[in-house]
Structure 1
């Protein structure tokens, strides 16, 4: 629920597939209040977006208020489709889209995502805003941003532009294999084993073509040895992330790398990259999203 008694100068919105997160902001970019709900894009019909937003931010509205939104709210199935910018492109696009609103207090602008046509087809929505936040706090930074998640992205940045990027379904594969394959009988819990992770990482990086066989070995080790569910979980993660690092090597080899996301998963990627002697900076995804929405708000004000 929203805090009462707060009046926002503008409102930052991170609207993903599963969750809606809103922040009442001051002119200086300070968070005055925040609220969230499970009413993500995936659960809403188009006519439900405005009521879901007002449910959280209504108490913060004193009059016409800028609302800057990023994420899947701008997808084809979202409130309004915000056309992709095409890489190479500036991190903050000039184009934003305004969905129709019945409440006159709402001045909503949705940030466009980014698409890539060559050398491979790829898309992102929301990550571009996190990257914009990182660059707003790290001026003139060039390198590669890794955004771990269900669909991990590797993004080459130069001169404040997205040059190219590649998405890996590593997180989704981990969930599918650990919950819906034969490995569900072996992988369990939330524990961790550094040695098992390192073993899986090394196996997949040195011989990624053996990934499918090494995955089954996790099940076999459960049947034939005293392997624990925590060890199996860590080795599965190591194998999948190792295969990803082997495939993404053209992005991270010889580059400065920023790992941007939630602490737990980001640390796993950071440790894996540091094991390859890659210079890595780790930073918080929520903080970068807010910094990116703040930069986008200022950018919109300049271009309107």
Structure 2
């Protein structure tokens, strides 16, 4: 039986595509998932990927966030410059003969130079679910974002490639033999975090010591993995202290990575509240639809 949505919400990232068929009252009628992310498609292939995802749904206008609006995506949605609200007053229409698809632009910062795509929609969703909230949002991931929010606007933000560094170091350096483990060592994480927070200039030397301690003193892989994470997150917290110190903090995410940031901040006397990523993404897309539907 075909689903007849009033509108469609799309979270279109680099590796995955997720869609929701939405009712006129903004409730979810159905969900669909695909591995046809931006990184697997040429611009001309996006309409077919959208049609495949929504093949069991009748045609309806769609609002999309994420890397779909990147320069290599379906069509580039120009960045909004901060300070600004996370959502714009107008959106970029994708070239398609099917139902209209509108793309939410990302945010840019001139100095220090920085950009985001997709996170702006999560920010909008977090603010929709927490009206009047001021403080700092931490968005852990491959490229972790620290975002200063005031009076409903993104004032400034900072990106840290901590997740990328962890993946690169654990998968493509000599440490790949030392950190393969499904287990975790909380004490090792806390110790490494404190070490790098107090002496971030020692990071490169501390990294190689993980390999040496394994060879010479039998350091276990679970301990080495947790210590690597602690060293990298510690360096990140040292670099972003002006964002989180003395601020109200929200973390958008879930699972072990979000838990690691919660523990790291708590160890510095900075408690954080966790919000579920998919929930705030859908809330942000709904807020964007509220803007868009008045223009259609």
Q: Please give the TM-score of this superposition, normalised by the length of structure 2.
A: 0.98
User: Match for 1:163 among 141, 151, 155?
Assistant: 155
1:15·1:72 contact (CA, 8 Å) conserved in 2? yes
2:17 to 17, 20, 29: 20
Q: Partner residue of 1:274? A: 266
Report the equivalent of 2:184.
192
Distance 1:95 1:196 in 2: 48
State whether structure 2 residue 279 is matched by structure 1 residue 284.
no
The equivalent residue for 1:222 is 214
Aligned partner (choices 154, 169, 176) of residue 177 of structure 1: 169
How many Å apart are 1:262 and its aligned residue? 2.8
Partners of 1:191 and 1:6 in 2: CA distance: 43
**Residue correspondence of structure 1 range 1-304 to structure 2 within 5 A:** 4-61=1-58, 63=59, 65-103=60-98, 106-118=99-111, 120-303=112-295
Alignment gaps of 5+ in structure 2? none
Deviation at 1:301, TM superposition (A): 2.3
Secondary structure at the aligned position of 2:275 is classed as strand
> How far did 1:31 drift?
1.2
How many residues matched?
296
Looking at structure 1, the residues matched to 24 and 149 of structure 2 have their Cα atoms a distance apart, in angstroms, of: 28
Secondary structure of 1:187's counterpart equals coil
User: How big is the shift at 1:58?
Assistant: 2.5
CA drift of 1:91 comes to 1.2
How far residue 302 of structure 1 moved from its aligned partner, in angstroms, is: 3.6
Query: Runs of at least 4 residues of structure 1 off by over 2 A?
Result: 301-304
Q: Deviations over 1:154-198 (max 9, x none)?
A: 000001100000000000000010011111111112211101100
**Residues 262, 271 of structure 2: 8 Å contact kept:** no
CA RMSD of aligned residues (A): 1.0
Residue 303 of structure 1: how far off its partner (Å): 4.9
Normalising by structure 1, report the TM-score.
0.95
Q: Distance in 2 between matches of 1:43 and 1:262?
A: 26
In structure 1, the gaps of 5 or more residues are none
Q: Hey, what's the Cα distance between the residues in 1 that align with 2:280 and 2:119?
A: 10
In structure 1, how many angstroms separate the alpha carbons of the residues matched to 2:195 and 2:72? 40
Counterpart contact for 1:144–1:252, Cα < 8 Å: yes
